[in-house]
Each structure stands twice: as structure tokens, then as C-alpha cells.
């Protein structure tokens, strides 16, 4: 069976990266293989997760390489050298340039902690998303896996899962529930489904 080579890009803790690793270890990613973790922060805990899992990792640190174009050039070189066929963003805190996206058009995935198109776009990341959800008073939020395009959070939606907003929720409590009930569930599933399509097994 052909396996699609996956590179994961992380800036921080890498909880979604861990969810994908767990799925792979459980045999739930039969059409994909994680071949590389890339981070733009030398202190990212995701690097430790990669080390524990025996996944090769590399850092292109934002402090050492402040120019985005130069950073992206290095990242692309590492992706090519490792034969990456699918790029998975897992808490990667830099918006990618149109040139970078074009190099992997239709092959970059991201997960957003809300039900897009609501609460998406510039400035909507991390706890800011959950703060906005609570301020709006909506009863349901969730997570969305989508393809990355040049417009932030506007690419074709691959999967969504709804999560209840409860009385007394804080942004932190809601963030944890969305992670547990939505993000960690649908991201590994979506990665496998996209890998399966890329192998040509399903159209």
C-alpha cells in the first residue's frame, strides 16, 4: 500500500501533532506516514514529542531567521529533501505566503478551533477565537479542518465537528473542550482521508 509522506509544521506544544501521532500508532493512518516535524520555535514542545516518537525534526527559528521569505525558503527545502507530499499545520503561528502555498497547492491542511466561516480570518487564533465565541453568545462552536489557500481560513472545508458551549465557560475551558471533543478527533481522520485520496484509492 502506498503511503503519503506527511510533514507537520508546529510552533508550540503540538497537541494536534500528538493526536495524529497517536492515530498513526493505533493503525488509524494506513495511507500516511509522518516523515518530518518542522518548527519555527526552538523551544517548541512539539520537538520533544517528535523525539519521543522517533520522528525526524528540524527548526527554522523565527528569532534566528526573522525574514519570512528566507524562512519559507529553508522550510521548503527541508520539505523537498524529505519527500513531503502533504503538509499538515498543527498550531503553526506564521501565515504562509502565496508562493509557499502554491508550492504545495491542494496539499496543505490546517485546523481552526471554530466552525468556519464563523470566527475565522486575521486575528482569530488560539484563545482569541474562544473569547470571540463566548462574547457572541453562540450556543455551538467546534473545529474545522480545511485546505490552506492564500486567503486566511478561507480554503475548502474538509471536516467539521460541533461542540456545545456551556454556561460558565471561560475561553480556557472552552478551548480544552474543543480540543478534546473536536480537534483531536477530526484532524487525524481528515489527514487519513486526504492521504487516501492522494494515493488514488478514492476519488
Domains and CATH numbers, the chain: 4-199 (3.40.50.170)
CA distance 173 to 177: 6
Q: Mind listing the pLDDT tens digit for each residue in 120-153?
A: 998 999 999 999 999 999 999 999 999 999 999 9
Q: How many CA atoms lie within 13 A of 173 on its CB side?
A: 8
Is the separation of the CB atoms in 14 and 93 below 8 Å? no
Q: Mind listing the pLDDT tens digit for each residue in 98-111?
A: 999 999 999 999 99
pLDDT reading at 118 higher than 80: yes
- Assess whether 31 carries a catalytic annotation: no
Q: How far is CA 162 from CA 7, 17, 140, 197, in A?
A: 27, 21, 6, 24
The pLDDT, as a whole number, for residue 1 is 80
- Please state whether beta strands 86-89 and 157-164 pair in parallel, antiparallel, or not at all (unpaired): unpaired
| Active-site residue, from 31, 41, 112, 130 | 112
The pLDDT, as a whole number, for residue 202 is 58
pLDDT reading at 203 higher than 60: no
Question: What mean pLDDT is predicted for residues 175-200?
Answer: 97
pLDDT tier at 189, thresholds 50, 70, 90: very high
Average pLDDT score, the chain? 96
Amino acid at each position: 500500500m502506498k503511503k503519503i509522506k506527511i510533514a507537520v509544521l508546529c510552533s508550540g506544544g503540538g497537541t494536534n501533532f500528538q493526536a495524529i501521532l497517536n492515530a498513526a500508532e493505533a493503525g488509524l493512518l494506513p495511507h500516511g506516514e509522518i516523515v518530518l516535524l518542522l518548527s519555527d520555535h526552538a523551544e517548541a514542545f512539539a520537538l520533544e514529542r517528535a523525539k519521543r516518537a522517533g520522528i525526524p525534526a528540524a527548526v527554522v527559528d523565527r528569532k534566528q531567521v526573522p525574514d519570512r521569505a528566507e524562512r519559507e525558503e529553508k522550510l521548503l527545502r527541508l520539505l523537498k529533501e524529505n519527500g513531503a507530499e502533504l503538509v499538515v499545520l498543527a498550531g503553526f503561528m506564521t501565515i504562509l505566503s502565496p508562493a509557499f502555498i502554491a508550492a504545495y497547492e491542494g496539499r496543505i491542511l490546517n485546523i481552526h478551533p471554530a466552525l468556519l466561516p464563523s470566527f475565522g480570518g486575521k486575528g482569530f487564533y488560539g484563545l482569541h477565537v474562544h473569547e470571540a465565541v463566548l462574547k457572541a453568545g453562540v450556543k455551538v462552536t467546534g473545529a474545522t479542518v480545511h485546505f490552506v489557500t492564500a486567503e486566511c481560513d478561507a480554503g475548502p472545508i474538509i471536516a467539521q465537528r460541533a461542540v456545545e458551549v456551556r454556561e460558565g465557560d471561560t475561553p480556557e475551558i472552552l478551548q480544552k473542550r474543543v480540543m478534546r471533543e473536536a480537534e483531536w478527533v477530526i484532524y487525524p481522520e481528515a489527514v487519513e482521508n486526504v492521504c487516501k485520496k492522494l494515493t488514488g484509492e478514492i476519488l
